[in-house]
Chain A
Amino acid sequence: MLEHFNKAFESKARLGIMSVLMVNESLSFNSLKELLNLTDGNLATHLRALEEQGYLIVQKQFIGRKPNTTYGATPEGKQAFTNHLNALEAFIRTGQY
């Protein structure tokens, strides 16, 4: 059972990032920071890790002169996260906790 748990989602922060990106098409760095209560550095590290896995799509653009980076989940990311949730659910159902 445990082998279905995705290592990429092991940290709480990464679970949080994926959860909010499942229900929002895309979110800015600042909205993510506010929602998840993370520091800039911490959030950036986790975002990079998820991006490297191919779970996130990053878009950089400018609003006026301010750079604005938005993040969205890729189809692979959504699938991986769903699998992870299913594994969690199955784990709970078996009552092994």
Chain B
Amino acid sequence: MNSSNQPLETLNEIRDLMQRSSKFLSLSGLSGISAGIVALIGATVAYLRLKTDTLYDEQSAQLAGFTRRQMMEFVLLDGAIVLILAIGFGIFFTVRKAKKAGQPIWNSTSKRVVISLLIPLVTGGIFCLAMFYRGILWVSFPATLIFYGLALLNASKYTVRDLEYLGISEVVLGLFSLFLTGYNLLIWAFGFGVLHIIYGAVMYFKYDRSSSHP
């Protein structure tokens, strides 16, 4: 090592250590893109099956030849499949990116990201289940957007800052969706599908690609 530029090198090392120790930077853009695609497919299936965007009145369900119970079961199942696939792909691409970069996957920073995501998400999940139990289906569409947005906002402190913008966008969409009840499914598809794909693509070109060609 050349002793003449040692202070500069030391400063750079310090900066790198501070970043690496406090933020989980292996979040992959492809995770976002895959989650978006899964969400769009899920929303399309729901739309084709229910033939309606309005999930709050009994009439539209009956028009599509559904009992209320069938409709609830279908929405729950569809939502659960989307959630599991999105999380699965998300973990897969992020683990792959971390491995490529030789970074540890399960450490104190990734734990903090997961915990800060889970608290608002589980709260939102229980809230939606309670609404379902009370027979209020439509609220779960804005609610999932809002709670998911808050979860991202919470987790953005421990990972790439850009997650903050996605979080805020999801919350704002969710709030709009509360008032535009006729467009619940459409707004949901936009929030979870289109926004994820846009965000994932931006992240991919900003971080993933540049890190493989430094």
Q: A residues engaging B (CB < 8 A)? A: 12, 15-16, 19-20, 22-24, 27-28, 31, 34-36, 85, 88-89, 91-92, 97
Contact = CB atoms under 8 A, between A and B. Distances in A.
A24 B11 contact: no
A91 B17 contact: no
Given A24-B22, A27-B108, A28-B108, A35 B7 contact: no
**Majority-rule SS of B interface residues:** helix
B108 A15 contact: no
A15 B10 contact: yes
A19 B17 contact: yes
B167 to A, nearest CB: 21
B73 interface: no
Interface residues of B, number: 17
Contacts of A35: 17, 20-21
A66 to B, nearest CB: 16
Interface of B: 4-8, 10-11, 13-14, 17-18, 20-22, 104, 107-108
B90 to A, nearest CB: 24
B5 A31 contact: no
Report whether over half of chain A's contact residues are helix, strand or loop; otherwise say mixed: helix
A15 B14 contact: yes
Given A15-B10, A88-B7, A88-B10, A31 B107 contact: yes
Given A34-B104, A34-B107, A91 B7 contact: yes
